[in-house]
């Protein structure tokens, strides 16, 4: 099975590739497992830091290019691709800063990926990553589920909603076999923050665990829906494998989440990071970040995803322990 991951140099793209290699095979539609024969990671540039086991792996190729360039995307489909994880995206704050770029990458680029998959005529399996930012607005309920009306209040969220609708429609037409994984805030991102408004959430863990102080730009009482990166990656793979019949006409699945507050996140660092010299949390409001993050749903009802076997950690402290094991030990 030949797999393409767009946004393949990013945080989740690299972790996804590593997880697929570790599995070695996938069983789409619960049929006989097929071996993972190659993974193409596509991104604007090679990662500044490679995830272990990817760089010199003979099953991994790297393609450098911009998905807003249709010719480049066409070149990614020169050899048959069986499964695509479309992760490349302009993320939330960046999309607010640059509307035209967000539309070029998140809409035009997404259409290039979908249309080139369509032109293969093999009902390519496609997993698109959307976000909680697809919800928002004055009438949003505090807890959302997969039937909640999507009224995004950012350009990023608007482009993700359009991507979700296109996945449904391309699948309905039989152009591809698409699914959308709608992600809550993913923790704990290692290394440097990206331009997502939610980036500070990972910083709440990462910086104190490194012994550095960190700024908390929102009210500690703010509710958040979060999920650890291990569950995110396992959930995305599970969604790729599920038979289409289990999703019906609504191909977007909200991943389950831990519904917590920012204060709970800070407490989890103290609980799981005991024994380490922890940096402090310093509350300093940032109106822009508070506005964007505050416009997202407060909690997720993930019962549909849970019933389909997608995972969620038991508690925040488990995520901190995984992060310490994956990134801070040795």
Of the candidate spans 85-93, 147-155, 213-221, 280-288, the one that interacts with ligand NAD by CB under 6 A turns out to be: 85-93
Residue 292 interacts with ligand NAD (CB under 6 A): yes or no: no
Residue 162 interacts with ligand NAD (CB under 6 A): yes or no: no
Q: Report the nearest approach of ligand NAD to the CB of residue 158 (Å).
A: 13
- As a whole number of angstroms, the distance between CA 200 and CA 207 comes to 10
Q: Report the nearest approach of ligand NAD to the CB of residue 70 (Å).
A: 12
Q: Which is nearer to ligand NAD, 33 or 107 (CB)?
A: 107
Q: Report the nearest approach of ligand NAD to the CB of residue 293 (Å).
A: 11
Strands (E) in the chain, as ranges, are 2-6, 25-26, 34-35, 38-43, 60-64, 83-86, 125-131, 143-144, 177-183, 185-187, 214-216, 223-228, 252-254, 258-261, 281-283, 299-300
- As a whole number of angstroms, the distance between CA 316 and CA 261 comes to 11
The one catalytic residue among 72, 156, 285, 323: 156
Q: Report the nearest approach of ligand NAD to the CB of residue 91 (Å).
A: 5
Binding residue (CB under 6 A) for ligand NAD from 4, 186, 233, 266: 186
Residue 231 interacts with ligand NAD (CB under 6 A): yes or no: no
| In contact, 64 and 45? CB cutoff 8 Å | yes
Residue 129 interacts with ligand NAD (CB under 6 A): yes or no: yes
Of the candidate spans 27-35, 144-152, 182-190, 249-257, the one that interacts with ligand NAD by CB under 6 A turns out to be: 182-190
- As a whole number of angstroms, the distance between CA 39 and CA 78 comes to 14
Of the candidate spans 7-15, 29-37, 204-212, 312-320, the one that interacts with ligand NAD by CB under 6 A turns out to be: 7-15
CA-wise closest residue to 267 among 282, 285, 281: 281
Three-state DSSP class for residue 227: strand
- As a whole number of angstroms, the distance between CA 233 and CA 264 comes to 23
| In contact, 70 and 76? CB cutoff 8 Å | no
- Dihedral over Cα of 224, 230, 233, 234: its sign: negative
- As a whole number of angstroms, the distance between CA 90 and CA 7 comes to 10
Binding residue (CB under 6 A) for ligand NAD from 28, 39, 68, 300: 68
Residue 305 interacts with ligand NAD (CB under 6 A): yes or no: no
Q: Report the nearest approach of ligand NAD to the CB of residue 189 (Å).
A: 6
Q: Which is nearer to ligand NAD, 67 or 239 (CB)?
A: 67
Residue 105 interacts with ligand NAD (CB under 6 A): yes or no: yes
Active site residue 327: no
Residue 234 interacts with ligand NAD (CB under 6 A): yes or no: no
Residue 127 interacts with ligand NAD (CB under 6 A): yes or no: no
HEC string of 109-172 equals HHHHHHHHHHCCCCCCEEEEEEEHHHCCCCCCCCEECCCCCCCCCCHHHHHHHHHHHHHHHHHH
Residue 297 interacts with ligand NAD (CB under 6 A): yes or no: no
Interface residues toward ligand NAD, by CB under 6 A = 7, 9-13, 43-44, 66-68, 87-91, 105, 109, 129, 131, 183, 185-186, 194, 196, 198
């Amino acid at each position: 099975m030949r797999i393409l991951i767009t946004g393949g140099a990013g945080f989740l793209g690299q972790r996804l590739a590593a997880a697929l290699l570790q599995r070695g095979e996938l069983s789409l539609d619960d049929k006989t497992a097929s071996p993972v024969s190659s993974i193409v990671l596509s991104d604007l540039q090679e990662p500044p830091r490679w995830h272990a086991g990817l760089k010199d792996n003979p099953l991994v190729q790297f393609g450098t290019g911009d998905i807003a360039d249709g010719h480049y995307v066409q070149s990614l489909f020169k050899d048959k691709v069986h499964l695509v994880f479309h992760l490349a995206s302009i993320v939330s704050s960046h999309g607010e800063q640059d509307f035209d770029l967000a539309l070029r990458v998140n809409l035009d680029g997404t259409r290039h990926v979908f249309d080139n998959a369509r032109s293969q005529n093999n009902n390519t399996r496609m997993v698109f990553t959307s976000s909680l930012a697809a919800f928002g607005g004055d009438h949003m309920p505090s807890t959302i589920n997969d039937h909640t009306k999507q009224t995004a209040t950012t350009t990023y969220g608007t482009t993700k909603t359009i991507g979700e609708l296109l996945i449904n429609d391309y699948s309905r037409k039989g152009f591809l076999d698409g699914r959308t994984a709608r992600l809550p805030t993913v923790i704990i991102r290692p290394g440097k923050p990206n331009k997502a408004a939610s980036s500070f959430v990972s910083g709440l863990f990462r910086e104190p665990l490194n012994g550095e102080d960190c700024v908390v730009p929102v009210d500690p009482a703010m509710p958040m829906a979060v999920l650890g990166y291990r569950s995110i990656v396992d959930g995305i793979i599970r969604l790729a494998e599920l038979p289409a019949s289990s999703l019906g006409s609504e191909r977007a699945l909200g991943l389950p989440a831990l519904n917590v507050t920012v204060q709970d996140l800070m407490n989890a660092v103290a609980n799981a990071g005991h024994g380490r010299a922890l940096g402090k949390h310093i509350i300093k409001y940032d109106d822009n970040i508070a506005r964007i993050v505050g416009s997202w749903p407060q909690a997720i009802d993930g019962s549909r995803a849970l019933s389909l076997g997608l995972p969620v950690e038991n508690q925040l402290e488990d995520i901190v322990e995984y992060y310490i094991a994956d990134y801070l030990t040795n």
